[in-house]
Amino acid sequence: MSDVVIVGAGPNGLMLACELALAGVRPVVLERLAEPGEQQRANGLVGQVVRALDRRGLYERVTGDPAPPHPQPSYVFGAMPLDLRAVPDNPLYTLPVPQRRLEQVLAERATELGVEVRRGHEVTGLAQNADAVRVTLAGGAEMTTRYLVGADGGHSAVRKLTGIGFPGVTTDRSVSRTAHVSVPAEMIDGRTGALVVPGYGTIPPFQHTRTDHGLIAWALFPGRPAMLSTTEWTGPETPGEPLTLAEMSASVTRVLGAGVPLSPPEGDGPHLLRRLTGGNTRLADRYRDGRVLLLGDAAHVHSAIGGPGLNLGLQDAINLGWKLAAQVRGWAPAGLLDSYETERRPAAERVILSTRAQAALIAPGDDVTALRALVAEFLAAPDNAGHVAALLAGADIRYDMGRPGGPPVGCWAEDRTLHTDSGPVRLAELTRAARPLLLDGTGALATVAKPWRDRVDVVGASMPGALLLRPDCFVAWAATSEHPDEGGLREALARWFGAPS
């Protein structure tokens, strides 16, 4: 019997596999596809997940740069510019990386950690009892596991087989087209990378531009084909055959009122030509059914505007990983595994709120144009821009950690350089093992935490007070003085990391 089976070898499933392996559990990953998909999907990460990858040593693997990530000076909200230069503690980070590359890095890391990925294994049935889940595969083979996690996307077979509802809204009001393209070199601003269209003007890179007739986005990636996207709410009926460059070009002309000569990109493919009609906004009515749990798009789907998908799903995986491992290893306190849903479902609700609000702001019509002008005035204020940036980044989430232990409790622990007995070190470097961590600036708490040392690392550091961090880097307890509440620390250790050994 396996301890954990994960269905789906996309970024979310692989991230969960890595988190479980770091916590001492070796999951089995089942993937329906025999080979990694060639279809181009997400083009980067936005939000807290960029720093979360840094906390696991994966940011440098993706970028090849040992330097930590830096926040973005600007972004967009509802196809309106969001100036973040005056925002203190700007929370918005980005990482431009194709999803295929991210999956490759996560797969390599999973292999290093001893994770078994079985490709060409499609789940067709499941049944569970109080002790295990029996999984049936195409062809009739069966396997048994203590826990099953569905990370198999918006059309999740695991969710459907378990009978978990997926309420929400499906619309067919819009048509989105995306293609890898080549454009004449003279239409690209060599300094900014913007697309300069005669008869229209300038389309800035890496952000949505709204017109009276639709939405357009232009992205120029170093070493990769340029990408052009449009969204229209009206237009000719979409054909049944695949998208062509001619159709893409016609859509650009309708949106801009001016043409852009499009040619196939240079180099080997696969090159993206994709048309999507309508969209879905749905949230599973529960994330857990007995020994079956849902993760990422299997639990929530929404518009891609603002790039929140992987930020939400990968953070789901980081939240679930250590809790499920604690359950498997036998030290999880009561209710710990259920806290996955109580903490992450509100995060999904915030993303749905954000994407719906942005969809309203990009819709056609004079009333929307007036609304955008007013919202732009609000976004010009740094406080408002910071609030929206935190929403986009998922940095406005604060978990309920029980009895307050100071302002940071329940919040993400910001990275900092700490001075330890071994020398200066970034907090991100201390969290690579994905273990609970007590940062002790008082020098008096190692004895208090000793009964949990099989689960909790203790590091003495030059800092005021002390912090107890969960493996997902949220603060479970904090002290701001040299005389901390030792009883409060014991209570937090027991609440999150079980009974003392």
pLDDT at residue 492, as a whole number: 95
Calpha distance 279→246 (Å, rounded): 24
List, for the chain, all residue ranges whose pLDDT scores fall below the cut of 70.
38-41, 402-407
| Radius of gyration in angstroms for the set of CA atoms belonging to the chain, rounded to a whole number | 24
pLDDT at residue 39, as a whole number: 65
pLDDT tens by residue, 169-205? 988 778 999 999 999 999 999 899 999 999 999 999 9
- The two tokens of residue 40 are 């181009």
Calpha distance 350→411 (Å, rounded): 16
| Distance set, CA 388 to CA 5, 43, 85, 351, 464 (Å) | 37, 22, 14, 12, 31
- The two tokens of residue 127 are 């049944």
- The two tokens of residue 165 are 């509802």
Q: Are 175 and 232 in contact (CB under 8 A)?
A: yes
Lateral strand order in the sheet of 273-283? 208-211, 214-219, 226-232, 168-181, 273-283, 300-301
Burial group, residue 267, by CB count within 10 angstroms (0-12, 13-18, 19+): exposed
Per the listing, tokens 């690209």 go with 188
User: Per residue in 59-72, is it b (16+ CB within 10 Å) or e — as a string?
Assistant: beebbeeeeebebb
Q: Can you name the residues that pair with 283 across neighbouring β-strands?
A: 300
Sign of the Cα pseudo-torsion (100, 106, 109, 114, in order): negative
Q: Are 500 and 449 in contact (CB under 8 A)?
A: no
Of 465, 452, 416, 458, give the one whose Cα is nearest residue 438: 458
Of 33, 26, 44, give the one whose Cα is nearest residue 9: 33
pLDDT at residue 223, as a whole number: 79
Q: What is the DSSP string of 117-140?
A: EEES--EEEEEE-SS-EEEEETTS
pLDDT at residue 405, as a whole number: 47
Calpha distance 148→398 (Å, rounded): 28
| Distance set, CA 400 to CA 242, 403, 409, 434 (Å) | 48, 9, 8, 21
Give rounded-to-5 percent helix, strand, coil for the chain: 30, 25, 40
Q: Which helix (H) or strand (E) holds 247?
A: helix 245-256
Q: Are 314 and 11 in contact (CB under 8 A)?
A: yes
Cis peptide before 270 (omega within 30 of 0): yes
pLDDT tens by residue, 37-76? 766 667 789 999 999 999 999 999 999 999 999 999 999 9
Q: Are 285 and 300 in contact (CB under 8 A)?
A: no
pLDDT at residue 40, as a whole number: 62
The end-to-end CA distance of the chain, in Å, is 27
Q: Are 249 and 262 in contact (CB under 8 A)?
A: yes
| SS3 label, residue 19 | helix
- The two tokens of residue 247 are 């159709």
